[in-house]
Amino acid sequence: MRKGLVLSGGGARGLFAVQILKRMRDYGFDFKTIKFISGVSVGSIIGAMIAQGDIDTIIKVFPTLRNNDVYKGKISTFNIVKNRILGKNYVLDIEPLHALLSKYISLQKAKDKGIVFHIGFVDMNSGKYRTCTQYDFDTDENYIRAIMASCSQPVIWKPQRFSTHFEEFTNASDGGIITVSPIKSVLQHRPDQVIIINSSPVNPTVHKGDFTMEQMLLRTIDLAVGESFAKDMERFKEINKDPFRFVPSVIYQTDLDEDSLNFEDENLRKLRIDNANQMFFNPLTPKQ
């Protein structure tokens, strides 16, 4: 079997995906059957670890992450105004993520495993959604910066600079801006089955009352992400109507709508794990 794995964005909500993967592992799923992976945002981090054969590591490490392992700072009106005055086009410092990824990510291991791993990001200069794989890089640094670019939500985090064999990108940002669930990258390989794990809610909860500036910024991103996934799934279902292109699918979808930047709250971590356990089902039986 040649299976594909699609991992969405979602920030701290990525714990949903990690818990689903843990349940799959404990269930006896053979991760060696995964031959193609595509990921955006936090999905690119999780995907990178699976691509290099470190499924056990990501399952162990992700639940222990805290805000300062990923970023420094806080989204506030004061910080937005301060950084604007300082000429910065972002609010939070994402460099702690660079240190974290440098500890665990290995380009050589990813190449040696032979899995095709697609990283999705947006080239802010051209406005186009782009992908690259581990085979497009010569150095860990450029590979890690590409993964960081996939995570770098505009305004919140700094766009990233990196180079592939073919091209240099100077302002690369979160792929979830355009496609939060990058199914197409996997489908082009004609897998025997595709597993989709979406850590972002499709239907956001109703907000009551006024928004602060910070809440409005985060709400805008969440709404865009939810709409992006809905469109991704509609395109996938449309493609799958063709009997000659049909791909059996397993889809895990969270219904939680909570703070994607909060790695701290113990109750949120438990909620994400419980939600994944609730949504989990036998991955060996295709379900749409």
Mean pLDDT over 40-63 rounds to 96
The structure's pTM equals 0.87
- The predicted-structure confidence for 248-259, as pLDDT tens digits, reads as follows 788 899 988 888
Residues 6+ apart with CB under 8 A from 206: none
More confident residue, 236 or 21: 21
* 3-class state of residue 193 by DSSP: strand
Examine the residue annotation and report whether 41 is marked as an active-site residue of this protein: yes
Which is catalytic among the residues 8, 152, 173, 174? 174
Lowest mean pLDDT segment, chosen from 245-249, 255-259, 268-272:
245-249
- The predicted-structure confidence for 53-71, as pLDDT tens digits, reads as follows 999 999 999 999 999 999 9
- The predicted-structure confidence for 207-235, as pLDDT tens digits, reads as follows 566 656 555 656 555 656 555 656 666 66
CA end-to-end span of the chain: 19
- Closest to 154 (Cα-Cα) out of 127, 136, 134, 186: 127
Examine the residue annotation and report whether 174 is marked as an active-site residue of this protein: yes
Whether the per-residue pLDDT at 96 is higher than 70: the answer is yes
Which is catalytic among the residues 8, 41, 199, 249? 41
| Domains in the chain: ranges and CATH | 3-278 (3.40.1090.10)
Looking at residue 285, what is its pLDDT? 55
Which band of pLDDT confidence, cut at 50, 70 and 90, is reported for residue 49? very high
